[in-house]
Structure 1
Amino acid sequence: MILLKRSGFFLIAVMLFMIMIGVEKSSADELPMSVGTGSTLNDSTIQASKYLMSGTTSIQIVSSDKVRVSGNTKAYQPVDNIKVDLTLQRWDSSSGQWVDVLSIGSATNNNSSIVSLSKEAKVLKNSYYRVWGLHRVMHGGVIEQNVSISTYVYVE
């Protein structure tokens, strides 16, 4: 009987410990509302890719009229050409859709497995913004590409 009680207390202690670890992990993984991120890994379609590993986009509020837009493309190995293109979008409530407001630009590397781009852009207050990225890898005549779209941020 005593052994059964001890086993029960041990089981309860283990369960409480596991719950506490889960709570701490989820709160540590959360980002502030001033940051929006996106990744090609969020793509729900099944895609086989020989060279393109991933692509990410990010938008962060810097001030009341400025955001930092970033993105990168990664390959499994050094490739002939690797590229990322970023475009800033704003929510247009009158049309109910995201509209391109600024081409942030592109970055390209040759004989590399990663390329990244980060720039600041002026924005309008009281608006929602996000960034989408085109991620492209070219190697040995093969072209692989995918798109990532960040979550949005609200600039007050």
Structure 2
Amino acid sequence: MKSIDQAILPLWFRTGIVCLIAATLFFSFLYRPDRNEVPLESAEVISTQAIESQSLYFKDLDGGLVSVVDAEMNREITRLRVGEDGFMRSVMRGLARERMAKGHGPEVPFQLTVWEDGLVSLIDPVTQRRVELSAFGKDNVAAFTRLLPSASKKLDAGNSSS
């Protein structure tokens, strides 16, 4: 006659399962590769030479606006309005959040770079994080490349010929 309190699995088996789970968790945390520690130089080897680059600050303003500032000329390039430029806001917020998590502030500008092979990257020199914008499609690349000096020259030329 079996008691209701009698266990279905023997104690040695339950103990073994708990030890196996604990060991798996321990080793997975111990040997977890940290993808944020990949040096920036290794990514640069993949790409070719930079053909155009822009240093940018992203500053939060009242009302949810974000000002995009040319760091070298200290002039505003554009303002990102609420409900617009969602991809640009997401990428920028992710990089800024990572900076803050590592104890850094907004003092150093981000680098928007167009490479010789046509790829476009947004690089955070502080955290060494590099976002390959080209991987997200032409429309999302265009959202960022409009911030480059060559894009503003094209706009100026188009306005003067009208």
Greater C-alpha radius of gyration: 2
* Bigger RCO (CA 8 Å, 6+ sep): 1
> Structures share a fold, TM > 0.5?
no
TM-score, length of structure 2 as denominator length: 0.35
Larger strand proportion of the pair: 1
